[in-house]
Chains A and B, each alone.
Chain A
Amino acid sequence: MSDTLPNWLPRALAVLVALTLLAPVFGWAAGAVGYAEPLENAAEATGATGSVEAVEIALMPDYGVAGLGAAPGTFVSAVVGTALTLVVAGAIGRLLGTDPDAD
């Protein structure tokens, strides 16, 4: 596979690293605003807020890590999630059946 790796891949991976580094900064800034999103507004308007059931099996709920502060937890979550998505989606791309003659 290595002989077919595109030359844009290193730069794309650098962008991903930059995005993960920015995640804690944006997380802090958004939290500082004390925001509410349309889904939350709709739930509040109809009295549905008490119906939420958390996903118990989530390993890193709410993009945090137990024992870590908010910023480090967000950073670790960003790294883990980005890397995991890269691996899983990349594997799906290959499993779907690539055509070596399609280039």
Chain B
Amino acid sequence: MSDMHIPDGYIDIGLAVLFGALSVAILSLAARRVGRTVPESRAPLLGVVAAGIFAAQMLDWPIPGGTSAHFVGGAFAAILLGPHLGSLCVATVVTIQALVFGDGGLLVLGANVFNMAIVEVYVGYGLYRLLAPYGEYRAAFAAGWLGITAGALTAGLQLGLSSAFEYQLLTTLSIMGIGHLVLGLIEGAITAVVYRFLAEARPDLRPTADAEVSLS
């Protein structure tokens, strides 16, 4: 059930420290940007979205041909909560998965947070904002699809620059990138469908109803 969760031993310690420091710095900035802009009645939304992402990640969809996929949810969190709160949301999920369930290593926790809670979230959100004028749900699909692919490429970069993978950067980038470019279609579809359902059932939860979603 690991998907993009890199275990300890796969990434060289120097890279793990570098991405750990980057993650702490970016999440600190995100927390500062969120500031006191979360409406009190919407604070539980962060908990519910994070818990939903955790639970959804446990649903491994078997795919004929010998692979599986599960919803990662970075772009979904970004669209619904805004990029800064979305990144904190996914970082919480990734941290609990590592500490309690051993899904993803502890030394490489910062790298996993960087891939799934920062790259996937901010790339997904940027694509959503860019494409939303051409269709909100199509934009959500592209955000989920290409957001997870971007996160996977970052993971491929980290693996390919590490000794355990014999510095075979081209191999790791191509396997992670192409693999998630295909599996990401499912991520995009789930992101668009769940977002559409939520937007129609509860329009008050749409990002436009939340002050945090702006990139300011």
**Distance A15 CA – B55 CA, assembled complex (angstroms):** 10
Task: Check A86–B39 contact: CB distance below 8 A.
Answer: no
**Distance A47 CA – B138 CA, assembled complex (angstroms):** 39
Report the interface size for chain B: residues with CB under 8 A from the other chain.
78
Task: Please give, as numbers and ranges, the residues of chain B lying within 8 Å of A89 by CB-CB distance.
Answer: 46-47, 49-51, 89, 92-93
Task: Check A80–B100 contact: CB distance below 8 A.
Answer: yes
Give per-residue flags for A37-78: 1 if the beta carbon is below 8 A from chain B beta carbons, else 0: 111111101111001111101111111000000000010011
**Distance A77 CA – B59 CA, assembled complex (angstroms):** 12
Give per-residue flags for B37-65: 1 if the beta carbon is below 8 A from chain A beta carbons, else 0: 11111111111111111111011111110
**Distance A87 CA – B202 CA, assembled complex (angstroms):** 23
Complex interface residues of chain A between 7 and 42 (CB less than 8 A to chain B): 8-9, 12-13, 15-16, 19-20, 22-23, 26-27, 29-30, 32-42
Task: Check B60–A26 contact: CB distance below 8 A.
Answer: yes
Across the interface, A46 reaches (CB within 8 A) one of B8, B39, B54, B168, namely B168
Stretch of B122-130, B139-147, B170-178, B185-193 that contacts chain A:
B170-178
Task: Check A92–B37 contact: CB distance below 8 A.
Answer: no
Q: Does B216 contact A (CB under 8 A)?
A: no
CB A11 to nearest CB in B, in angstroms, measures: 9
Task: Check B175–A45 contact: CB distance below 8 A.
Answer: yes
Task: Please give, as numbers and ranges, the residues of chain B lying within 8 Å of A94 by CB-CB distance.
Answer: 43
- How many pairs, one residue from A and one from B, have CB atoms within 8 Å of each other in the complex? 245
Task: Please give, as numbers and ranges, the residues of chain A lying within 8 Å of B211 by CB-CB distance.
Answer: 102
CB B4 to nearest CB in A, in angstroms, measures: 6
**Distance A85 CA – B105 CA, assembled complex (angstroms):** 18
Query: Chain A: which residue is nearest B162 at the CB level?
Result: A48
Task: Please give, as numbers and ranges, the residues of chain B lying within 8 Å of A47 by CB-CB distance.
Answer: 166
Given contacts A8-B205, A36-B66, contact A96 B38 (CB under 8 A): yes
Q: Does B110 contact A (CB under 8 A)?
A: no
Task: Please give, as numbers and ranges, the residues of chain A lying within 8 Å of B39 by CB-CB distance.
Answer: 98-99, 102-103
CB A66 to nearest CB in B, in angstroms, measures: 13
Given contacts A12-B52, A36-B66, A37-B3, contact A51 B99 (CB under 8 A): no
**Distance A24 CA – B199 CA, assembled complex (angstroms):** 29
Query: Chain A: which residue is nearest B69 at the CB level?
Result: A37
Task: List 14 additional A-B contacts (Cβ < 8 Å) besides A29-B60, A45-B175, A55-B98.
Answer: A27-B58, A29-B62, A38-B183, A39-B6, A39-B159, A45-B168, A51-B9, A52-B7, A55-B99, A55-B102, A81-B54, A81-B97, A87-B47, A93-B44
